């Protein structure tokens, strides 16, 4: 069964991704700026990828969402399935902030470029600052939310790595709330070192209460936002991967909500 699932996934992924890429391009013609039709196609692709991987998705905490209000969605990251999971779980318009090297990924990278998502060069701080300013302007104009993974890369063991304070620059710049989204269950299905699912399973996307950022700019504020977001991830059930110092207070208990 695992071999059959892996075969089906590897067979269907390029076909369905290529098809959805074409549909997304067509959807950009009537709405190139807002990209609403293209985004609806991307959500359909996301649901298809989860199905092909044998993932059954469960979404909780939707009472904390405000889809028409621009927010910065921050999530833990342990699998290639994380992006489809958030795309499907979040009901509003969403744009991804992705590493620049993903531009060469067939169909997916091309879609991110053409559909108005954002590429960031980690080695060029000035480019990253300019990107944040462009993203902020587009979020205000079209009431979009942005998705970022503040760990910077996928976790190998599913545990939460250190969060990069720079990832919180966008939210602080425009004063939009941070929306924590904990993703659980993607790594056992498709871990970092694998290209095909090892097994099926349940994927949970848990949204926590929004974290306000109005009036919180500058490096100290970004570090504080990173700390608050980390606490939110732990409360939502993401396992901690950074040892606490000996005199640190105990972490809050995990929540199933």
Domain for residue 248, yes or no? no
- Domain housing 103: 2-235
pLDDT for 172 equals 82
Whether residue 75 has pLDDT greater than 50:
yes
Task: Give domain status of residue 23, yes or no.
Answer: yes
Residue 122 pLDDT level (bands cut at 50, 70, 90): low
Q: Does residue 253 belong to any structural domain of this protein?
A: no
Residue 58's domain is classified under what CATH number?
Answer: 3.40.1130
Instruction: Assess whether pLDDT exceeds 90 at residue 113.
Output: no
What confidence score (pLDDT) does residue 5 get? Answer: 81
CA dist 59 and 72 (Å) reads 18
| Region 53-65 average pLDDT | 95
Q: How many domains does the chain have?
A: 1
Phi, psi of 119, rounded to the nearest 5 degrees: -105, 140
CA dist., res. 106 & res. 20, Å (int): 12
Rounded to whole angstroms, the Cα distance separating 182 from 42 reads 21
Sign of the CA dihedral with 143 first, then 211, 152, and 130 last: positive
Q: In the prediction, which pLDDT does 253 show?
A: 44
Q: Assess if residue 245 is contained within a domain.
A: no
pLDDT at 84 over 70: yes
pLDDT of residue 224: 93
Please check whether residue 14 lies inside any domain of the structure.
Answer: yes
On whether residue 169 sits in a domain, the answer given is yes
The full DSSP string for the chain is -HHHHHHHHHHHHHHHHHHHHHHHHHHHTT-TTT-HHHHHHHHHHHHHHHHHTTEEEEEE-GGG--TTS--EEEE---STTHHHHHHHH--S-EEEEEEGGGGGSTTHHHHHHHTT-EEE-TT-HHHHHHHHHHHHHHHHHHT-EEEE-TTSS--SSS-B-PPPGGGGHHHHHHTPPEEEEEEESHHHHS-TT-SS-SS-EEEEEEE---B--TT--SHHHHHHHHHHHHHHHHHTTPPB-SPPPTTPPPPPPP---
How many angstroms separate the CA atoms of 141 and 138, rounded? 5
Q: What is the pLDDT of residues 189-246, one digit of tens each?
A: 999 888 889 889 999 999 999 999 988 878 889 999 999 999 999 999 999 976 655 4
| Mean pLDDT (whole number) for 54-66 | 95
Decide if 244 is inside a domain: no
Is the pTM value of this prediction over 0.75? yes
133 within a domain of the structure (yes/no): yes
Place of tokens 């779980």: 89
């Amino acid at each position: 069964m695992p071999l059959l699932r892996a075969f089906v996934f590897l067979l269907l992924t390029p076909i369905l991704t290529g098809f959805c890429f074409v549909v997304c391009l067509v959807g950009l013609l009537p709405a190139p700026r807002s990209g609403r039709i293209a985004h609806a196609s991307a959500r359909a692709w996301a649901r298809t990828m989860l199905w092909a991987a044998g993932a059954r998705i469960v979404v909780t905490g939707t009472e904390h969402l405000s889809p028409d209000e621009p927010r910065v969605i921050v999530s833990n990251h342990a699998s290639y399935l994380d992006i489809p999971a958030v795309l499907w779980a979040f009901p509003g318009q969403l744009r991804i902030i992705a590493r620049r090297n993903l531009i060469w990924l067939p169909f997916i990278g091309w879609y991110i470029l053409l559909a108005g998502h954002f590429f960031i060069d980690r080695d060029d701080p000035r480019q990253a600052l300019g990107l944040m300013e462009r993203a902020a302007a587009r979020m205000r104009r079209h009431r979009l939310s942005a998705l970022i993974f503040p760990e910077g890369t996928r976790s190998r063991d599913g545990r939460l790595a250190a969060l990069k304070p720079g990832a919180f620059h966008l939210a602080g710049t425009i004063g939009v709330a941070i929306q924590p989204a904990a993703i659980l269950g993607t790594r056992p299905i498709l871990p970092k070192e694998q290209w095909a699912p090892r097994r099926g399973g349940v994927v949970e996307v848990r949204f926590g209460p929004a974290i306000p950022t109005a009036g919180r700019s500058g490096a100290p504020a970004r570090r504080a936002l990173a700390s608050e977001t980390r606490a939110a991830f732990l409360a939502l059930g993401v396992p901690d991967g950074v040892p606490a110092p000996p005199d640190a207070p105990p972490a809050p208990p995990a929540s199933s909500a």
